[in-house]
Homo-oligomer: A and B are copies of this chain.
Amino acid sequence: MDNNVKNYADEEHCPVRNVLDRFGDKWSMLVLMLLSDMEVLRFNEIHKYIGTISQKMLTVTLKKLEVDGLVNRKAYPEIPPRVEYSLTDRTKTLMPIIQDLAQWANQNMADIQYSRSKAV
Query: Interface residues, chain A, CB within 8 Å of chain B?
Result: 1-2, 5-6, 8-9, 11, 15-20, 23-25, 29-30, 33-34, 37, 45, 48-53, 66-70, 90, 93-94, 97, 100-102, 104-106, 108-109, 111-113, 115-116, 119
Contacts and interface: CB of A to CB of B under 8 A. Distances in A.
Given A8-B49, A15-B106, A16-B29, 19 more contacts: A2-B48, A8-B30, A15-B102, A16-B101, A18-B105, A18-B109, A19-B105, A19-B109, A19-B112, A20-B29, A20-B102, A20-B105, A24-B25, A67-B115, A67-B116, A67-B119, A69-B112, A90-B112, A101-B101
Nearest to A52: B9
A45 B50 CA distance: 42
A101 to B, nearest CB: 5
Q: How many copies does the complex hold?
A: 2
Given A67-B116, A102-B16, A1 B33 contact: no
A70 to B, nearest CB: 8
Given A104-B93, A119-B67, A109 B15 contact: yes
Nearest to A21: B26
